[in-house]
Chains A and B, each alone.
Chain A
């Protein structure tokens, strides 16, 4: 089983619908991240959480919200999806020591299409 698991892996939805992407990890890391990947733009940070009570906005948080339900779970929500949120979404984890050295561990991604 993957250490960082994202569900669903693929989702097609309609404009205005609420969508939740879930991430769970078995690595025991305290830090979790949500990134968005668009072709030609690399990865952009949406939200990050350094522990259950510490959640921070990234560079493109508008239109998104998150919930850190437990150390191992970090969910990303789109309250009212719009077509320009069509993208590949990645969850990543790290611990305090590894983050200082830049090593993030990524899930396999959730491809979201908003029609």
Chain B
């Protein structure tokens, strides 16, 4: 079945550092890809998405590009802030199927001032 694999966490960076969180997927068909973020004590919320190959999703300074050839959707940010500390989840949805989301295991990010 469909699956998502994220880089192991936790990840700890200093403020203003460059961030990359790797995400690769396995899916039949042509899935849509997403990054969700979970701030402490809260539910998940959609951060960005891409619905077809070579699309770039972006929001709040974060970016991710849908790479079909490498089945990847890596999350990047050029200069992280303390407020970016959260757990980040990569997910996929097959629009041709039951439209359920399949999540990766999550990556905990901590940014130190």
Q: How many A-B pairs with Cβ below 8 Å?
A: 57
- A99-115 interface with B by 8 A CB criterion: 99-109
Number of A positions contacting B (CB below 8 A)? 25
How many residues of B sit at the interface, in one of the four size bands?
20 to 34
Given contacts A100-B99, A102-B49, contact A43 B89 (CB under 8 A): yes
Most buried by A among B34, B99, B103: B99
Given contacts A102-B91, A103-B49, contact A108 B43 (CB under 8 A): yes
B42 near A103 (CB under 8 angstroms)? no
Chain B 85-113 interface mask (CB, 8 Å, partner A; 1/0)? 00001010101001111011110000000
Most buried by B among A42, A56, A101, A107: A42
